[in-house]
C-alpha cells in the first residue's frame, strides 16, 4: 500500500486516532496580561448576526473578534523583533509544509505540580533523550505541564510581581534551535515563555530566539497528557492572515495506537 493509502486505512479503522489539542474559543478563556504600559491582547468575542429570525429567517451566524494571540494559537517569526526580517515570517507566507510534522512531548507535569515557576533545562531535555531518543530535525517540541487543566485565575496565576507559570530556560531554547534544529516549541501555558520570562536575558527568550531563528510557537495547547512522548504527527495550520504575526487555530495530533 502507498503511504497515504495506508494512512487513510489507519484513520478509517481507528488504529490512527485524531487527538484535539485545542481549547474552545470562549470569552471566558484567559488571555495574556502584559504590564500596563503595553498594549493588551483582546479576548474572544461573538456577536449574533441572526438566529433563524427576522434578521435572517433561515440561517444563524455570528461575527467574531479576537487577537491573533487569543486562545490556542500559533506564533509566527514576525511576532518578535528578532524575527522581523525573517523571510516568509508572517502566517500568510509560511510554507504550508511547515504545518504538518513530527512531535516530541517532554513531560514536565511533576515538576510543574511542585513549582509554578518550573524551568525546562538542557539537562531536562537530555534526560528525556536518554529515555526516548534524540529529538529529530524539524520536530515540534511540546512542553507538557498539565497547565491546560487549570481554570480561571489559576491559569495566568498572577501575583503582585506578575504571572507565575512554567517555561524553558534561555539555554534550553538555544539548545533546541542550535543543536536540534526544531520546527517550533509549544506549551500548555499562555506563552512559549515562562510567566516570569521577562526577567531572563534576553527578556522572553523563547520568543526572542525561536522567532529570530525562523521557528514557530504554539501556546495554550490543551490535553498534552493524551500524547505519547514520540511518534505522533502534529497538524497545526494558522489562518492565512495577511501580514499576520500569529493566529488562533485547531491543533490536531495523529496518534497511532500501539
Contact present, 44 and 27 (Cβ < 8 Å)? yes
Question: Residue 34 or 154: which CB sits closer to ligand 23J?
Answer: 34
Question: Which region, judged by CB under 5 A, interacts with Mn ion, from 7-15, 112-120, 220-228, 246-254?
Answer: 246-254
Selected binder of Mn ion within 21, 22, 23, 75 (CB under 5 A): 75
Question: Residue 16 or 90: which CB sits closer to ligand 23J?
Answer: 90
Selected binder of ligand 23J within 8, 9, 11, 34 (CB under 6 A): 34
Rounded distance, CA 136 to CA 181, Å? Answer: 8
25 φ/ψ angles, rounded to the nearest 5 degrees? -70, 120
Element housing 153 (H / E): helix 153-156
Catalytic-residue membership of 211: no
Binding residues for Mn ion restricted to 15-74, rule: CB under 5 A: 69
Question: Residue 79 or 144: which CB sits closer to ligand 23J?
Answer: 79
Task: Give the SS3 label for residue 48.
Answer: strand
Cell numbers linked to 128: 528525556
Contact present, 15 and 255 (Cβ < 8 Å)? no
Q: Return the one option of ligand 23J, Mn ion, none that residue 204 interacts with (CB less than 5 to 8 A, by type).
A: ligand 23J
Rounded distance, CA 46 to CA 44, Å? Answer: 7
Give the catalytic positions in this structure.
79
* Chain residues in the site for ligand 23J (CB under 6 A): 32, 34, 69, 75, 79, 191, 193, 204, 207, 219
Amino acid at each position: 500500500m502507498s503511504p497515504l493509502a495506508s494512512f487513510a486505512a489507519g484513520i478509517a479503522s481507528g488504529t490512527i486516532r485524531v487527538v484535539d489539542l485545542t481549547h474552545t474559543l470562549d470569552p471566558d478563556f484567559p488571555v495574556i496580561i502584559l504590564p500596563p504600559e503595553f498594549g493588551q491582547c483582546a479576548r474572544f468575542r461573538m456577536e449574533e448576526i441572526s438566529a433563524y429570525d427576522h434578521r435572517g429567517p433561515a440561517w444563524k451566524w455570528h461575527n467574531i473578534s479576537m487577537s491573533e494571540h487569543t486562545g490556542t494559537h500559533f506564533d509566527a517569526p514576525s511576532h518578535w523583533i528578532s524575527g522581523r526580517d525573517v523571510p516568509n515570517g508572517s502566517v500568510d507566507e509560511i510554507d504550508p509544509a511547515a504545518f504538518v510534522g513530527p512531535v516530541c512531548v517532554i513531560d514536565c507535569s511533576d515538576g510543574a505540580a511542585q513549582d509554578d515557576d518550573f524551568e525546562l533545562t538542557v539537562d531536562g531535555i537530555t534526560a528525556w533523550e536518554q529515555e526516548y531518543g534524540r529529538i529529530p530535525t524539524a520536530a515540534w517540541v511540546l512542553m507538557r505541564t498539565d497547565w491546560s487543566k487549570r481554570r480561571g485565575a489559576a491559569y495566568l496565576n498572577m501575583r503582585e510581581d506578575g504571572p507565575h507559570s512554567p517555561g524553558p530556560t534561555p539555554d534550553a531554547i538555544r539548545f533546541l534551535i542550535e543543536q536540534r534544529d526544531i520546527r517550533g516549541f509549544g506549551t500548555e501555558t499562555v506563552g512559549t515563555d515562562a510567566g516570569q520570562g521577562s526577567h531572563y536575558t534576553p527578556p522572553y527568550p523563547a520568543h526572542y530566539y525561536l522567532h529570530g531563528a525562523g521557528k514557530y510557537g504554539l501556546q495554550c495547547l490543551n490535553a498534552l497528557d493524551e500524547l505519547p512522548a514520540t511518534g505522533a504527527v502534529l497538524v497545526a495550520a494558522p489562518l492565512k492572515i495577511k501580514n499576520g504575526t500569529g493566529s488562533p487555530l485547531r491543533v490536531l495530533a495523529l496518534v497511532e495506537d500501539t
